[in-house]
Amino acid sequence: MPKIRRRQRCPRCGSLSIIRWGFREGRQRYKCQDCGTSFVKHKECVSKSNRLIWFRKWVLGKQSIEDIGYDSGYSSRQLHRWFDEYLDASPTWIINTSCPIYLLIDGTYYSDDHCLIVYRAENLKRTIFYRFTRLEDDDEIASDLLYIRDMGYDVIGITTDGGDNIIRAVQYVFPHVPRQRCVVHVQRECLNSITQHPRSTEAKLFRNLVQQLSIVYTINDKLWWMKQYSRWVEDNLEYVLEKGINPYTKQEYYVRNDLRKAYIHLKRALPNLFTYIDHPGVPKTTNALEAFFGHIKDQLRSHRGLAESRVDNFIKWFLFFNDEKKRKL
């Protein structure tokens, strides 16, 4: 089998647009056509400078190590050894900014007992803190928020999902910062209770009311929606809270408990449901974080087979490289 000739790569920018550029002391010189760097090939030096480039490409892309080996000219065994060295460590970075921050907070489980909580400055599109945990615990989240506050970040708005633990922690650390409940999470929880196709007319009207939250953009929209909501409550609250008696146990129960749960969920969310209207700039949803979590899980599926001890560090590198792209802007 013929030996694959490894192409020259710029040690500064990683480009493959390399041309020969004369000789120095009898050694071949090269020049990068992209960044203009000229260099003499030192095998060990060049390989070290390329390691992080190829590791970054692997973490952020869909290529297997074998594919990276084909593109780079390095053997799969060599790449495995280098990449494992990175995965046995983890990157650290701190964002220094005086800009006001609109904070998104959300968590996702990427295995049964592994949860990632991300604190993202949505207006900067950057992750300012994260935590790996087994549960979304009040004390841990409060500790994270205290760290963010003590680091001097100017948090002027916070958007969260409906998790009680996150809400309590935010209220404790940032009691005076405008808080927004994710509208999509509220809709999802309500519709999970009554389904997309409820049978009763009252539940259908409630479903329509919940779906119309998506088209509330202005103060006039809010007033119109609140009027519809108040009318629905006035007409249907007695129906929603109707109780029956179990003939066998003689205990009371709510006849329409699914609709009742959906109503209570929406009622509890109302105080922080339209903050984005009163405070323009506060994100209406945590959709950006949901999409970001989707990318992380896609990468974990693409690189399935990672040792469990290295999965957390893989995610840390993914977060680091994604933030690196923002630092370069």
**Hey, where are the domains in the chain?**
1-41, 90-178+285-329, 180-278
The CATH architecture of the domain made up of 90-178+285-329 is: 2-Layer Sandwich (3.30)
Is the C-alpha dihedral spanning 130, 192, 214, 259 positive or negative?
A: negative
Sequential pLDDT tens for the chain (329 residues): 444 455 677 766 777 888 888 877 667 788 888 888 887 765 544 456 678 888 999 999 999 998 888 887 778 888 898 999 999 998 888 788 889 999 999 999 887 778 999 999 999 999 999 999 988 888 999 999 999 999 999 999 999 987 888 999 999 999 999 999 999 999 999 999 999 999 999 999 999 999 999 999 999 999 999 999 999 999 999 999 999 998 888 889 889 999 999 999 999 999 999 999 999 999 999 999 999 999 999 999 998 888 888 999 999 999 999 887 666 55
